[in-house]
Every structure is written in structure tokens, then in C-alpha cells.
A = this chain, B = another copy of it.
Amino acid sequence: MAKASQPIDKKRRKPHQARAAATVAAILEGAAQVLEAGGLAAFTTNAVAERAGVSIGTLYQYFADKNALLRAIAEREMAQALTAVAAALRGESEGTVESRVRAMVRAIVNAFHGRQRARKAVVQAVLAQGLAIEMMAPVASFIAAEGAEPRRGLGQLSREQVFVLSRALMGTIRAAVLEEQPFFKSAAFEDELVRLVLSYLNGVRQLDAE
């Protein structure tokens, strides 16, 4: 996950690790390209290896099987997205709840660096493979953490509330990705996503007040 940020310039010390890291990176990049170009249907281990410029044997040296490769891509993108979200929130640490939510929404929408087809394929694969739970865990725990902050004016969120809030937001974004909605990156869509979150939090608070 954090390997990319490690210094790779210690050529003297560990040439092997540097080579291996480059190979892994090439494979992941090749996988993303295959996904972007042909979707999930074109995503075969041989195709990825060829695109990555490595042999199929090398691919299997680093990934136990096809699913492991898929999981690695999903995890990498997830981690990057969460990092972006965290950075956005840090930049808004003094902002209003709305500004913080908006920063989060924007970071999630802008994930995957514009590779929409690849993103769609990854989402499909994650759903089809049943990896959705693990993938959602960080998002949910993030929201739970936010919801648990008394400073934010929110009471503690229940298990069901955390679930509904995280899945409503992610599910909507997911649907927009899968359906390739043209308004995906529009301001109007972002506004509605923000409204979705804030309204729900509002609804929870009102109940607590009663």
C-alpha cells in the first residue's frame, strides 16, 4: 500500500527489491489498462501479463491468482482514495460540517484518476467477487469515526445508521459509475450527494432531540 512512497533509490543495497517493485507496478498498471480498454470481459491473466510486458509466469510470482490481482487493484485505488479523503479533511479541519462533507464527496468522486472504465470494471469485479464488504470497511469506519465526534454536533451513530449512510453515499456513486452517468462529475451531482449526507445527519439529530 505504502510501497510506492518508499524510496526506491537504494539501488546499491537491494537491487532485487527495486526490480520486483517495478515489476509489480508494471503488472498493476497493465491490469488497469486492460480494464480500461476492454472492461472485465477482457481481463484475463494472459492479457494483463502481455500488456504489462512481463511473462505470465512472472505475474503469478507476485499474485496468487486472478482474484488476488483484482483485489490488489481495488485495494490500491481504495487506499489512494482514502488518502485523498484524509488530505481533503485535513485541509478543512477548521471548516463547517458541510465543507468537510463536500471535500470528502469530491475526493471520492475524483478517485481512480479519471479512468472511468477501469473504475467501472473494478467495481463490477469487486461486487461479483463479493469483496464489497472488505472494501467498504474503511469507508464505514471513517464515517463512524466522524459520527462519533461530539464536536461535530452529531450523536453517536448506530450500526445501522453508519451502514445506511456509508452505503447510500457509496451506492449512489457506484451506480453513477456503473451507469456511466454523464453528470458524474458535475457540480449539481456533487450538490445532491452533499445534500444526501447532510440531510440524513440532520434527520438523525432531530430524532435525538426528541
* A contact residues vs B (CB 8 Å cutoff): 40, 123-125, 127-128, 130, 132-133, 136, 158-161, 163-164, 167-172, 174-176, 178-179, 181, 183, 186, 188-189, 191-193, 195-196, 198-200, 202-204, 207
Find the B residue at minimum CB distance from A158.
B188
Find the B residue at minimum CB distance from A162.
B192
Q: Cβ of B175 and Cβ of A172 under 8 Å apart? A: no
Q: Which of B130, B159, B198 contacts A183 (CB 8 A)?
A: B159
Q: Cβ of B195 and Cβ of A207 under 8 Å apart? A: yes
Q: Cβ of A198 and Cβ of B192 under 8 Å apart? A: no
Tell me the smallest distance from the CB of A61 to a CB of chain B, in Å. 11
Closest 3 CB pairs of A and B: A171-B171, A199-B203, A167-B175
Instruction: List residues of chain B with CB within 8 A of the CB of A124.
Output: 127-128, 130
Instruction: List residues of chain B with CB within 8 A of the CB of A40.
Output: 128
Instruction: List residues of chain B with CB within 8 A of the CB of A169.
Output: 168
Q: Cβ of A163 and Cβ of B136 under 8 Å apart? A: no
Instruction: List residues of chain B with CB within 8 A of the CB of A163.
Output: 172, 175-176, 181, 183, 189, 192
